[in-house]
Each structure stands twice: as structure tokens, then as C-alpha cells.
Structure 1
Amino acid sequence: MAKLTRKRAEELLRKHTTEEHLFTHAAAVSAAMGAMAEHFGEDKDHWEGVGYLHDVDYEEYPDEHCHHVRELLAGEDVDDADIAAIISHGWGITVDEPEPTTPLMKSLYTVDELTGIIQAYARMRPERLDGMEVKSLKKKFKDKRFAAKCNRALIKQGCAMLGMELGDVMACCIQGMQAHAEELGL
């Protein structure tokens, strides 16, 4: 079984996705996951790959998100643990199993929604991601009307599962996304 990498995840996502905004979201989550991997001393390229591929079934099955990951990745030489991690980001939302139990799973569960808030905030700033501070992002996070579709309770729950403060997870995500600002159009 070959290790899932960002490059391989890009190839696989292109088989099932055509909408540009989904590729941008994949890149944002991938960037945040890379920073989380560094935080935990894990394989950055692997975590970026899992992050990039996390919505592999979303375009084809938006109402059954996370229920078709296994069938879409069958025969694609993707490790079962990576498939489980991808499915687990929908835990409590679209699926009941598996519950996120590893740092990889918990990170994906947490940063998926958080990257949406960071992207929305970056889009309204003249300097985009450049110079974004956790303090100012936290103010936007507290405003329930800002990026209203992003589930703040889920983000907080994910931080608790990780045993990390919200600000520390935000800092990781901002850092990871800043390194990919050009790719994200930010």
C-alpha cells in the first residue's frame, strides 16, 4: 500500500471533482493539515494528502457526503486508515462512525470548518492572509453572522479532542495557509 501524498491526492480528487471552489477548499484544508502535521511531528506530505482528498465524494454525493469515500477509493491503493480518517471528518454530521481518535483524524475534523472562516476573513482584508493575527481572527470567530455556515461548535469540539487551545489551532492553520497563499488566491 503506497502512502497517500498530496500529489496522489490531487490525481484522485480530479477523478471525482470538477468544481473549482472544491479544489480551493481542498488546497486550504491540505495547507492547514500540513501545519498540523508539523505541530505533531508527523509526515507533512501525508497529512496534506489526506486533507486534500477529504471531500472526494462531495461533488458527486453532496447529500450523502462521507458515505461514498470507501467505494470511490476502492482499488486506488489508498490505505484503509486514510480512508477512515477521511470519513471521520463527517463524524456527528453526516456519519456516526468512525469517531476521530488519532491526531490526524482529530485535526482534519477541526480544520475543515476553520479554514472556511480563515478564507472568508482573508478575502475581506486588503493584505489577505499576509500578517493575519490570531487575535483578530478570534474576533471574527466570535461573530456568529460572519462566515455563518462554518460550524463553530464543531471547531471548538475538535480543539477539545486535540487537547489544544483554539488560538493554537488557528495559528497552525494561518501559518499553513500563508505558505500556500498564492495557490489559495489569498
Structure 2
Amino acid sequence: MRPTREAAFQLLTRYNETESLIKHALAVEGVMRYMARKRGEDEEKWGIVGLVHDLDYEKYPDRHCAKTEEILRAENWPEEYVRAVVSHGWGICSDVKPESEMEKTLFAVDELTGLVTTSALVRPSRSVMDLTVKSVKKKWKDKRFAAGVDRTIIEKGAGMLGVELGELITDTIMGMREVADAIGLRGEIPA
């Protein structure tokens, strides 16, 4: 049975109450949908995988990825979805290496959405709508800025996808712009 977006969101909110975690899930979903369209892939599938990728993070941080696998299997989710979600934690909390384009994309953009969000929030506009790649790259170089974002994972993900870092940042910004209202990053752009 193919999960619906509605069922995925209900599952997400059953296990997550923290606004920042829900916004992160929505940001990753938006980027995954954008990337799927750009690559001619299944936007709904990619988006749903992005939406539930951190399903267990709030309640089971010490079992991240493993608990999500249990939950999704209990819900009879397709193997492709389960594997993709588990693979986003490769080298951190999972031994499942990203292999498909969907898995590699999720691996690459998960951490990057955090850097893009933080970069947007320090702008006067507090918006992703006027955020540039140049601005994110400038923040990238400052290791104290968004210190929790593992830049090596993002670089590894870009390498897996065979894209330059600038292209990956551009795609992440564009995907997040599509969900700017839902993730609170529309900001106050002067007219």
C-alpha cells in the first residue's frame, strides 16, 4: 500500500510535537518534492519520504532511524520508503548506504536545510525568499555558524549526486521557497 501525504503527516505529528522538528520535516519535504520534479521522479513519493525522515527523532533520539524503521514496518509502508528513510542516517545512526537518487538526495539535503534555515533567520528579512547561494556559502565557511550542521555530510551527499555544492544549495533554497509559509521563512520582504 502506498502511503498518502495525509497519512504521513498524521504519523509525523503522532510522534513529534516540537514546532522546529515539524518545520524541519516540512522543509525537507519541500526540497525533496522540488528535486523530484527537477529530475523527473515521483514527487509524491520523494516528498513523503522527506516528511517522515526524522519520525523518531523527538521521542527516540537514541534509536534514531532504527525506531522509524520499526514504526514504518508496523504501518506496512513499502520497503523503498523504509530503506530511503533509514539510509539518511548512513554513517551516523545507520549502516544503510544511500543508493537510489531519492536516498542520495535525502542524505544530501537533510543537513543542508538546517544551514539554509539558519542563514535565512539571520537576514534582516528573516526569509528564504531573498536568500542567495552566495550568502549561504559565506555562512558555510564560518564553522561557528550553525555549528551543529555537519558540512562533511552535505559535501558527501553532493558528491554522491554528482553536483556542485552551489547547485545543491540553489536547489535547497528553491525547494524551501515553495514551503516558506509552512516553515515560517517567508519573512518580511520589502515591497
Q: The TM-score by the shorter chain falls in which range?
A: over 0.9
**1:120 and 2:118 aligned:** yes
Partner SS, residue 66 of structure 2 = coil
Distance 1:166 1:35 in 2: 17
Task: State the match for 2:98 in structure 1.
Answer: 100
Paired residues of 1:90 and 1:109 also in contact (CA < 8 A)? yes
Please say if residues 8 and 49 of structure 1, whose CA atoms lie closer than 8 Å, have aligned partners that are also in contact: no
Could you tell me how far 1:62 is from its partner in structure 2? 0.4
Please say if residues 54 and 86 of structure 1, whose CA atoms lie closer than 8 Å, have aligned partners that are also in contact.
Answer: yes
Paired residues of 1:107 and 1:158 also in contact (CA < 8 A): yes
After superposition, where does 1:126-145 map in structure 2 within 5 Å? 126-127=124-125, 128-145=127-144
Q: What does residue 32 of structure 2 align with?
A: 33
Structure 1 residue 39 displacement after superposition? 2.1
* Correspondence 1:1-186 to 2 at 5 A: 1-2=1-2, 4-96=3-95, 98-127=96-125, 128-186=127-185
Residue 5 of structure 1 and its aligned partner are, at CA, apart by 4.0
Matched position secondary structure for 2:74: coil
Offset at 1:73? 1.5
- Where 1:74 maps in the other structure, the secondary structure is helix
Residue 110 (structure 1) shift: 0.7
Q: Which amino acid aligns with 1:8?
A: A
Please report the TM-score for the alignment, with normalisation by the length of structure 1: 0.94
Deviations 1:22-64 (A, max 9, x none): 1011011111111111221112122111001001111121012
CA distance in 2 between partners of 1:18 and 1:136 (Å): 31
Q: Which consecutive residues of structure 1, in runs of 5 or more, have no partner in the other structure?
A: none
1-structure distance, mates of 2:7, 2:110: 20
Aligned amino acid, residue 77 of structure 1: N
Alpha-carbon distance in structure 2 between the residues aligned to 1:126 and 1:45: 34
Runs of 4+ in 1 over 2 A off after TM superposition: 4-8
Residue 153 of structure 1 aligns to a residue whose secondary structure is: helix
The AA in structure 1 aligned to 2:98 is P
RMSD: 1.2
Asked whether the 8 Å contact 1:6–1:50 carries over to 2, the reply is no
